[in-house]
Chains A and B, each alone.
Chain A
């Protein structure tokens, strides 16, 4: 796994409340680094989770098993901002012996942060990555960016395989759960369903995720493209997205 050999860490997944993250650090050591367990980090298959489950949940469990004793604690997003699978994963990880601290991020805590990366021009993969870093970074650490008019949209969660993001043009705006994360409002369903009507948008979900229902509905409503992907993206999925990007244009 990444250059993390023996340091003690605090794992987290989804978007835990900032106050919970803060208090966990105060309790276990302010020098402990956070590590996002949602992300594919090359951990071997722990076989704890069945194969027909969302790949992000499998990443969480596989990463936790691989890091094992180095994880002082796991801060688990078990609220509406994540999903039932996230809640069950917390349960399973606790049963396996991890010190799991749950977070729910209720609507009273929604932050309404300004959208910077979601509407900026630049590499989509980098912007999605930066948005996910804002979960543990203060807003002041946001880098300078330039806003742009969208030519395309990407709706969804950060994918397991980021290669799908590389084919989008830099003028792609970000919608869905990832946008909610940047706004500091991870369970805001209204914001999650928002897209710019005239912008051709790819509605992406991981396979076996309940967000497929939402993505399918929105793709029908806005003439977008619904794409779901389980593990790594394949050429067929890339070709489909590539064709959509080439053939569609904003109708302004």
Chain B
């Protein structure tokens, strides 16, 4: 039995029997055109599964099973959207979901990183930032900064820092924040976030974890 979180860029597939997690591009998942997943969530999942689960519900349930505190905030920063939940007494107190704006999502960073061939494993965070009021305008600032002589690495790190500030504001400026999604592997993002609050990365399988309740009975 397979559970899947089919994001706009990456698809995470859990084989329940072997407990193995496979991460492939969503393009590859679409190309494979395999049999439908038992339970799935995410932008590209709705027509490809037996049971479809709303992403925010998956994040809520996944967050609760990963974190055993009563009060906490969790954010999932995806390629195309950002989801946020604040729990109080293990009950949802506040949720938000931004699906339209590239100022808080990963897609622009991926575009920049591919364009400038940035290796995130060695990219250092920086104290300065670019105002990323809009993902596209922010990208323009990076291009301009590079053309004015700044190194691509530093410019992209400034962009990441600008985006981190947006994520911090979006999540209502918590003192501690649990992070879900691909940015858990991005040291520059984590170090930039650390300038504002304590960030605890939970990895890329939080939403998948939130699907497990659907197969318990």
Which residues does A use to contact B, with CB under 8 Å?
220, 223, 225-226, 235-237, 239-240, 242-244, 246-249
Contacts and interface: CB of A to CB of B under 8 A. Distances in A.
A93 B16 CA distance: 63
Contacts, number: 39
Contacts of A226: 96
Interface of A is mostly: helix
A243 B93 contact: no
A239 B96 contact: no
B99 A236 contact: yes
Contacts of B60: 243, 247
B92 A248 contact: yes
Interface in B36-55: 46, 54-55
Interface in B57-116: 57, 60, 81, 85, 91-97, 99-100
A225 B54 contact: no
Interface of B is mostly: mixed
Nearest to A234: B99
A152 B99 CA distance: 23
Residue among B81, B91, B96 with the highest chain A CB neighbour number at 10 A = B96
A247 B95 contact: yes
B78 to A, nearest CB: 12
Nearest to A246: B57
B177 interface: no
B91 A249 contact: yes
Contact of A240 (B46, B91, B92, B97): B97
Nearest to A247: B92
A243 B94 CA distance: 11
A244 B95 contact: yes
A248 B94 CA distance: 8
Residue among A226, A243, A248 with the highest chain B CB neighbour number at 10 A = A243
A249 B88 CA distance: 13
B205 interface: no
Given A236-B99, A248-B92, A248-B95, 20 more contacts: A223-B94, A225-B96, A226-B96, A235-B46, A236-B100, A237-B99, A239-B54, A240-B97, A240-B99, A242-B54, A243-B54, A243-B97, A244-B95, A246-B57, A247-B56, A247-B57, A247-B85, A247-B92, A247-B95, A249-B91
